[in-house]
Amino acid sequence: MRKPAFHKSVLNSLHGIIRMLRSERNFQLEVLALLINLFLIVYLRLSPEHASIIFLVCFAVLSAEMLNTAIEKLCDFVHPEFDKNIGLIKDISAGAVLLLAVAAVIIGLLIYPQYIFV
């Protein structure tokens, strides 16, 4: 099977992101968090280093959410009826997103006070 052209791969990736935005509530909330962070980065004039860290963790959370959704959809496709092992796989996947989101909040709590309480 021939690989698609690069621009087709990019379009397919963008299609996946748009589908996530339209259908996944958690992803929508995480995008809102990214936009709030973008506002704070500009408003508080974060250093490039701190802004980079904030962007990195925001996009890591979004990526983890996309992987979690992919895992859940694959599990539902492979085994549509309830199964405790499939449930465990989904719980572990969701737990990974939660851990990353907690880390992102902690990083925000370490960075933002330097700019707010000056």
**Three-state DSSP state, 35:** helix
Q: What is the pLDDT of residues 59-117, one digit of tens each?
A: 999 999 999 999 999 999 999 999 999 999 999 999 999 999 999 999 999 999 999 99
Q: How many CB atoms lie within 10 A of CB 79?
A: 12
Query: Cβ distance 75 to 89 under 8 Å?
Result: yes
pLDDT for the residue numbered 55 = 98
What's residue 8's pLDDT? 96
pTM: 0.94
Separation CA 107–CA 33 (nearest Å) = 14
